[in-house]
Structure 1
Amino acid sequence: MRKLIYGMNLSLDGYIAAPGDDIGWSVPSGELFQFWSDQLQATELTLYGRKLWQTMSSYWPTGDQQPDATPAEIEFARRWRDMSKVVFSSTIDEVDWNTRLVTGDAVAEITRLKAEDGGPMDIGGATLAGAAMRAGLIDEYVLATAPVLVGGGTPFFTALDSWVNLNLVETRTFPCGVTLARYETRR
């Protein structure tokens, strides 16, 4: 059975994007970027909601070809292109770069993917992750909390029907002031 991990950069007040989908405040430092790149390398499959997919696919397919790309960005872009991805959307018609599109029941498909043998899966996008949260499918939460208050926007967590008990498994502070916390779901 695969592990499902939900992790993103978020503001101290709990948002992954400020109003207007502004993520300018969340540009990671070199050390934090390397952490996310290492996470990507350890991941076998990434699950995306439409909005996050459109953000990622607008840059990373050619991110390694940008004139100012750092070695870490070049490595991330190549990993991102090569890895298997699934996009959940009923509004787009096609995807590329080692990606499969699912237009049906996201929770049913995520449940099916979790039941397979294989390495860890990451899930990204507030709406998609929220559906997985409510269905009890998330095994680990990774919160990279930036020292900024954005006052609103897209929350990292969704409203839940019941409590989810967690165990803290790691904390870390990056030189840029971002604190990382990893939690596993208590089953």
Structure 2
Amino acid sequence: MNRIITSISLSLDGFFEGPDQDIDWHTVDEELHQHFNDYFRTMGGFVEGRVTYELMEEFWPTADQDPANEGVMAEFAGIWRDVP
């Protein structure tokens, strides 16, 4: 039987976004992004809410085709496309 694991980022007051869906506080450096890549690569699927899915779908499907996105960002684009 598979496990379902939940993971979410949120601020100390219990919210993920500020007014007007602002998520500027949520910064991901290269080390953290590599951790996410290693972690997400082991998953059998992602379950996302509509807003998160739309945000991710807007950027990640082709992010690795942009020369400005290299290394861990380009790597995550492939992970996001490959994991159902």
User: What is the CA distance between 1:73 and its match in structure 2?
Assistant: 0.7
Task: Using CA pairs under 8 Å that are at least 6 residues apart, name the structure with larger relative contact order, 1 or 2.
Answer: 1
Alignment of 1:70-89 (within 5 A): 70-84=70-84
**Structure 1 segments unaligned to the other structure (5+ residues):** 85-187
Tell me how large the CA RMSD over aligned residues is: 1.2
Equivalent in the alignment of 2:8: 8
- Rounded Cα–Cα distance in structure 1 between residues aligned with 2:5 and 2:80: 17
Offset, 1:70: 2.3
Paired residue for 1:62? 62
SS of residue in 1 equivalent to 2:5? strand
Q: What percent of counterpart residues are identical?
A: 36
Are positions 1:33 and 2:33 aligned together?
yes
Alignment of 1:142-153 (within 5 A): none
Aligned partner of residue 59 in structure 2, secondary structure = coil
1:89-128 alignment runs, 5 A limit: none
Whichever residue aligns with residue 3 of structure 1, its letter is: R
Deviation at 1:53, TM superposition (A): 0.5
Q: CA deviation at 1:42?
A: 0.9
Residues 117-147 of structure 1, C-alpha deviations (whole Å, 9 max, x = no match): xxxxxxxxxxxxxxxxxxxxxxxxxxxxxxx
Paired position in structure 1 for 2:50: 50
Partner secondary structure for residue 70 of structure 1:
coil
| Cα distance per residue 1:144-181 (max 9 Å; x no partner) | xxxxxxxxxxxxxxxxxxxxxxxxxxxxxxxxxxxxxx
| Segments ≥4 residues shifted beyond 3 Å | none
Larger strand percent:
1
Question: Within 5 Å, which residues of 2 pair with 1:157-172?
Answer: none
Higher helix share: 2
CA distance in 2 between partners of 1:16 and 1:55 (Å) = 14
- So what's the TM-score if we normalise by structure 2? 0.89
Query: Shift of residue 67 of structure 1?
Result: 2.2
Query: Unaligned 5+ residue runs, structure 2?
Result: none
Structure label with greater radius of gyration: 1
